[in-house]
Amino acid sequence: MLPLRDSEAERRIVPATTLLIVINFAMFVAEARLALHGSAEFMRYAMVPAHLAQLHPAPAELAALATLITALFLHAGVLHLAGNMLYLLIFGPAVELRMGHRRFLAFYLIAGVVSGLATVLMAPASMVPVIGASGAIAGVLGGYLVLFPRGRITTLWFYGLIEVPAVLYLMLWFALQLYSAIATGPQTADVGGVAWWAHIGGFLFGLAATPFLATHIQRRALPARRSYRRSE
């Protein structure tokens, strides 16, 4: 099911989400230009699980820690980029408006780091580079589930457009990630494939962190208390 819009975002153009999308597209253009010249220099910014699992306190090796962030802004192709940015555009604005722009940006980046560490934990010997924003976006999906379980997601289905409850859409999404991760085992997909454990780690982080970061959580209003004067 391809998400097209949600029912909870008051507006679609918001600062942090827009900035992230612009940076991702700009980085992809830079990747494409390097590829045209036969260079794969950008791949040194990809996250390699084995490099992180075997870190020693040497400056050159500690630099590998930065790839937990830089890898979030690299993509393996147009479809990889477009799919990630679509999910960020649909689910990001509503979450950002509840957290605030700065908190949302920090939340996104930390979710990406956690998703990368989840991959390292499950595949510590893997030398396959991991790139893409999907782990961070999985954190946004987890945050959306916490904040807007009663939201409605308009999706493109085989027979046209349908509205799906956000709680159902996101739980089905997570179930698919978990099934795929278990089915493929503790390994990392090739570049352009899917790092399922990154999705799981990011999503669980979103579930756990959102209640502490959201500044405006909707609560059902209690009826006003009436004051009564007792007659003597």
Q: Which residue shows structure tokens 């040497």?
A: 58
Domain 2-213: which CATH number of 1.20.1540.10, 3.20.20.330, 1.10.1040.10, 1.10.8.620 = 1.20.1540.10
Which string of b and e fits 101-118 if b means at least 16 CB within 10 Å? eebbbebbbbbbbbbbbb
Quote the pTM value: 0.87
Domain regions of the chain by residue span: 2-213
pLDDT of residue 60: 58
40-60 pLDDT, tens digit each: 777 788 998 988 888 765 565
The whole-angstrom separation of Cα 74 and Cα 89 is 17
pLDDT of residue 94: 96
Q: Which of 19-28, 82-91, 194-203 has the lowest mean pLDDT?
A: 194-203
pLDDT of residue 210: 95
Question: Do 213 and 107 contact (CB within 8 A), yes or no?
Answer: yes
Question: Do 48 and 128 contact (CB within 8 A), yes or no?
Answer: yes
Q: Which of 87-96, 173-182, 201-210, 223-232 has the lowest mean pLDDT?
A: 223-232
